[in-house]
Amino acid sequence: MEKVGFFRSIHVKFVTIYLLLILIAMQIIGVYFINKLEDQLIRNFQQSIEGRLSLLEYSLVEEMMKDRTDESVPPLEEEVGKLLADFSAQDISEVRVINNRSLIIGTSERNNQSIVGQKTTDVMVKRILAGGKKEDKIFIDTQSKNRVWILATPIKIGGEVAGAIYLVAKIETVFDQLEEINQIFISATLVAMAITAVLGILVARTITRPISDMKRQAVAMAKGNFSRKVRVYGDDEIGQLALSFNYLTRKLQEAQAMTEGERRKLSSVLSNMTDGVIATDRKGRVILINEQASQMLNVSRETMISQPVTELLLLDDQYSFEDLLDQQEPIILDYGTDDSPFILRANFSVIQRDTGFVNGLIVVLHDVTEEEKIEAERREFVANVSHELRTPLTTMRSYLEALADGAIHDKELAPRFLDVTQNETERMIRLVNDLLKLSKMDSKDYEINRTWVDFVSFFNHIIDRFEMTKERHITFKRELPDKAVFIKVDEDKLTQVIDNIISNALKYSPEGGRVTFRLKMLDDQIEISISDQGLGIPKENLEKVFERFYRVDKARTRRLGGTGLGLAIAKEMIGAHGGDIWARSVEGKGTTILFTLPYDPEQEDDWS
């Protein structure tokens, strides 16, 4: 620990503060005392002058009231001069007497007798003659540079202002006395400060010595040494503090041992967790990341310490650290690619004190790749059921509407329509069973109930059904042989395959488009193709359209009701029959779905 400088030590600070407090107290007392003393001295000086001035005013009134018509009576100016000559004193510079016409009728200054008989220009005197109220002021004489006091008081006879007395007094002697008192006070203050400084040093040492011991103990505790004890010097507050410090040392030693044990447990838990854990400080910088989180995010633990957590999670473009503090719901982080999906769920928990102060954030990462995949497949499966059931339900609705519109009374049509409705209902039940089997990704066992079927008639029957129920102006073109072609297939499952392919062709065909049906005879197979004039499929997606739940254009497919499962079902069905299925497409011109089925002309001849 850095050694404390002399002027930064608590010892010096204590003495300095002690002296400053004494100095401030004495200065406050001195200022108050001097101000009061100054006011008192000035007041005494003025009262002494005014007391003598009252006698002069009385004499002047007597002289002004005398009758001057008698020649034996001396002039007023002469009598005023005598009175002023007797009034002169050491602390009075000059006294002037002015009559009510602003004429100076006397002055005590012998060298200034020339102003007698002249009109005064002093503003103060004019205000006195006009208002009849006494005025005074203190100012500095420009010649002597000393302070003088000017007093102007009215002379009243019978309540009327008969003149004024203008007095100039030397008040500088009062301030000289104050200056001497100030010097005495300053000297006394310096002596008191010197004595106080010595006492302050002695008092400060009794306080700072135990504190120095505590400082050394604190340094030792910081280094992990809890065996040292603070010396107790007495039973006062400092002694009690030393005892408390020793008690604190013992408790810290116990707490450190407990914390170390908990730290080892926490480290073991974090290391063996299957979830990733990230902790941040209150500014969002990473302060802890366990090995599992490091592996999940494919980062080095050492390089990520002190880095922003939003940058680590690749969320800096979408969230700020303050947003994560308010985040109540988990955030799904998708770090996967098309070939290798990898999804994490991030849960956020704020580290917060009881006072509400935020210390940081805990992020728990859980690998939910398989969960998300299963959930997506579940959602896709549910949507696919709706897609697969739409066609038979539409057919049933058409026949039922026809029956409701009167066909039920037609003895020829009614049984046929009811038969079709019953067949479609049974096929939907079988379709649901097949979809449930298909939802098991590892299960590819299909029960094939093969019967001999004239495929041309069978194909035409399915096309007729769609042609009856289609809603848009889409034309059907058939390029089928005129002769019967018998093959051994599962009629229900093959109906499902063709239904799926035709439904997709109708969905993606534009208004006024055309759907073409072809059947081509090969050596040991027949090739069936269904073509539309829709948007087509990009070349890179042709091999994937038969994958389960795969969709080329997810937004468009959802809008049209598809789920990407229909062709996967068709692939399973055709594969179970021993055939193959594939697609050809040109973007902007349409798509053709082709599939083959086993065909043996010799067995056909024997059957027929």
Mean pLDDT of 391-411: 80
pLDDT digits (tens, 9 = 90+) for 524-565: 899 999 999 888 888 877 877 877 656 565 444 434 444 456
Least confident of 163-172, 313-322, 554-563, 591-600: 554-563
- How far, in Å, CA of 511 to CA of 468, rounded? 17
* Maximum distance among all Cα pairs of the chain, rounded to whole angstroms: 188
Q: How close are the terminal C-alpha atoms of the chain, in Å?
A: 108
Predicted pLDDT of residue 560: 47
Give me the residue spans of the domains in the chain: 11-177, 230-272, 275-367, 373-441, 447-598
Least confident of 174-183, 207-216, 538-547: 207-216
Kindly state the tokens that stand for 556.
Answer: 């468009």
- CATH architecture assigned to 373-441: Orthogonal Bundle (1.10)
- How far, in Å, CA of 557 to CA of 131, rounded? 108
From 163, 172, 174, 154, select the one nearest 44 (Cα to Cα).
174
Kindly state the tokens that stand for 101.
Answer: 């016409």
Least confident of 29-33, 226-230, 293-297, 499-503: 226-230
Mean pLDDT of 458-483: 86
Predicted pLDDT of residue 557: 45
Predicted pLDDT of residue 6: 52
Among residues of the chain, what percentage have pLDDT more than 70?
Answer: 88
Predicted pLDDT of residue 584: 92
- How far, in Å, CA of 64 to CA of 162, rounded? 8
| Most confident option among 90-104, 188-202, 563-577 | 90-104
Predicted confidence (pLDDT) at residue 191 exceeds the cutoff of 70:
yes
- How far, in Å, CA of 210 to CA of 207, rounded? 6
Predicted pLDDT of residue 437: 53
3-state secondary structure 395-410: HHHHHHHHHHCCHHHC
Do residues 430 and 446 touch, judged by C-beta distance below 8 A?
no
Parallel/antiparallel/unpaired status of strands 286-289 and 331-334: unpaired
- Determine if residue 405 is left, alpha or beta; phi over 0 gives left, psi from -120 to 50 gives alpha, anything else beta: alpha
pLDDT digits (tens, 9 = 90+) for 67-96: 767 666 778 888 888 888 777 777 888 888
How far, in Å, are 387, 444, 493, 549, 595 from residue 384 at the CA level? Answer: 5, 18, 17, 8, 22
Sheet holding 286-289, edge to edge: 286-289, 276-280, 358-367, 343-352, 331-334
Beta strands in 221-380 (DSSP E): 276-280, 286-289, 331-334, 343-352, 358-367
* Amino acid at the residue 182: N
How are the residues of the chain apportioned to helix, strand and coil, as percentages rounded to the nearest 5? 55, 20, 30
Mean confidence (pLDDT) of the chain: 80
Mean pLDDT of 461-490: 87
Predicted pLDDT of residue 384: 59
Task: Map residue 457 onto helix, strand or coil.
Answer: helix
What pTM was estimated for this model as a whole? 0.36
- How far, in Å, CA of 572 to CA of 520, rounded? 22
Predicted confidence (pLDDT) at residue 498 exceeds the cutoff of 80:
yes
pLDDT digits (tens, 9 = 90+) for 25-56: 888 888 888 888 888 888 888 888 888 888 88
Predicted pLDDT of residue 535: 84
Helix (H) or strand (E) holding 455: helix 455-469
Predicted confidence (pLDDT) at residue 523 exceeds the cutoff of 80:
yes
Predicted pLDDT of residue 122: 85
pLDDT digits (tens, 9 = 90+) for 410-439: 777 788 888 888 887 877 776 676 566 566
From 392, 581, 576, 583, select the one nearest 488 (Cα to Cα).
576
Mean pLDDT of 512-526: 90
Q: Judge if 275-367 and 447-598 fold alike in CATH terms.
A: no
In which residue are the tokens 């948007």 written?
535
From 197, 250, 258, 204, select the one nearest 228 (Cα to Cα).
250
CATH C-level class of 447-598: alpha beta
Predicted confidence (pLDDT) at residue 359 exceeds the cutoff of 90:
no
CATH code linked to domain 11-177: 3.30.450.20
Least confident of 68-77, 300-309, 447-456, 574-583: 68-77
pLDDT digits (tens, 9 = 90+) for 97-139: 888 888 888 888 888 888 888 888 888 888 888 888 888 898 8
What sign for the dihedral angle of Cα 414, 417, 423, 426?
A: negative
Predicted pLDDT of residue 558: 39
How far, in Å, are 286, 403, 450, 452, 455 from residue 420 at the CA level? Answer: 68, 12, 21, 20, 19
Helix (H) or strand (E) holding 586: strand 581-586
- How far, in Å, CA of 529 to CA of 531, rounded? 6
Kindly state the tokens that stand for 520.
Answer: 């081509």
CATH C-level class of 275-367: alpha beta
